[in-house]
Amino acid sequence: MKKIILTISILLLLASPVSAQKKAFSKNSAKKETAIKSLAFSAPFIVTGAALYGAQGRKFQPIREGISPGFSTHVDEYIQYSPLAMLYGLKIAGVEGRSSWGKTIVTNAISAAAMGAIVNGMKYTIKEPRPDGSRDNGYPSGHTALAFMSANMVHHEYGLTRSPWYSAAAYGLATTTAVLRVMNNAHYAQDVIMGAGIGILSTEFGYFVADLIFKDRGSLLGERERTFGNTDSPYSYFGINMGYNKIFNKMKISGIDMESGWGTTASIDGAWYFNNMWGAGINASANNASTSLVNPIYYSSSVSGSIMGVTTPALNWYTVSAGPRISAKAGNILRFGAGFDLGYAYIKESSNVSFPLYSKSGLFLGGTLFAERDIIDGVLVRLFAKSDNSFFGNERPDISSLVLGWSVAINLNYW
């Protein structure tokens, strides 16, 4: 977990604002500046996907098991192509974008070749087993890489030339592909996050090479300036959070004292600011944690000292909450702030164990401290520490936990 927090912290502190960077660049450094911005766009995904590789990323799979263990659909097999269909559908409809037909096709071909080489090279070198055990080629996700490569082309062709809502639609379809791959138990979280980063980076490479080949030929519309967001105003945003939770209180389940180690949390999170300081936020979270006996000796074998046939319940609880947010500027580096949430909590039944736990609704109270930074083109990276408190009563365990997490979100101020 430490390496994840460290790498994302570095991303938050990446560079000073572009306005300051421009002074450092000469006119002959335009390509270097473009390369830096291209890397900045894909870096949050690639760094997170690499940091989560292995046991850390697999810890998030129980959230999927808790939400819908039997989920299965073939929609992801088709929706992976939807951003590509959107790109060529717009061109066929006569909507002019950044590039001519010829340049678009060449850029697409170069991007796809780069994406395929990287994804398949990693898949068959690393040989990571998929969570369903079907094959040993799970890392990274090729479906997600293709979807984000195509979505990034829509972003370049139409989002940066006509309206950012084209980008929002394309990235939304790509994100849906990634989520469905995890829900289908075909990939771990790190597989789809790395796949997204590779897809984005491949497109940036495709445009870099195509621009060298075509130069000014085939360029129809100019892209608006790709700049890092400034820190003068709060970031209204919508995104997906991931994090680790630690339950601090002892819990009584079926009358037995239990405790928990570190678990995992995933959530959908958003905020809207009404002025330069105050706003309101919403959050919907899914949480998972294992439990263990506080006094296992009472249930252990006198011969071996091991617990014989005793199974404790997994905790799966969900929260939906809303509340005020406050945001302040920390120089030209980032913004930081706090939030308070009140809402609904629900703990899921866990019955096929030695000490059953039955479902119950309850009250949620939470408080958050956060730091955030707009990286490029409306992509927001956030770090947060959150106090989560769910109260169930009636012989159900109350849960008081700390969540440490991060997210990549859409900066709604940009769109």
Joined tokens for residue 338: 């706090």
The answer to whether 96 touches 220, Cβ cutoff 8 Å, is yes
Nearest to 77, CA basis, from 3, 25, 141, 149 = 141
Alpha carbon distance 4, 57 (integer Å): 11
pLDDT by 10-residue block (mean), the chain, 415 residues: 47 40 44 67 90 89 87 93 97 95 97 96 93 92 97 95 92 95 95 95 94 90 77 92 94 87 94 96 96 74 49 92 96 92 94 86 96 88 95 86 94 82
Burial of 363 from C-beta contacts in 10 A (0-12 / 13-18 / 19+): middle
The residue behind tokens 């900045």 is: 40
Please state, in angstroms and rounded to a whole number, the distance separating the CA atoms of residues 149 and 167.
12
The dihedrals phi and psi of 351, each to the nearest 5 degrees, come to -105, -25
In this prediction, residue 70 carries a pLDDT of 83
- Which of 36, 65, 296 has the alpha carbon at shortest distance from 184? 65
* Strand extents, DSSP E, 254-301: 256-259, 262-273, 278-289, 292-293
* pTM as predicted: 0.86
Q: Report helix, strand or coil for 173.
A: helix
- Tell me how far apart the alpha carbons of residues 271 and 282 are, in angstroms, rounded to a whole number: 6
Backbone angles phi, psi at 297, to 5 degrees: -60, -30
The structural architecture, per CATH, of the domain 237-411 is Beta Barrel (2.40)
Query: What was the pLDDT predicted at 300?
Result: 53
Buried b (16+ CB within 10 A) or exposed e, 271-293: bebeeeeebebbbbbbbbbebeb
Alpha helix segments (H runs only) across 52-163: 55-58, 61-67, 76-79, 82-92, 101-126, 142-154
Which helix (H) or strand (E) element contains residue 32?
A: helix 30-51
Ranges of each domain in the chain: 18-214, 237-411
Instruction: Give the pLDDT of residue 39.
Output: 78
pLDDT, residue 29, reads 55
Residue 282: both structure tokens together: 């919403």
Say how far apart CA 63 and CA 263 lie, in whole Å.
10
Question: What class, spelled out in words, does domain 18-214 have in CATH?
Answer: mainly alpha
- Residue found under tokens 């009140």: 342
CB 253 within 8 A of CB 357: yes
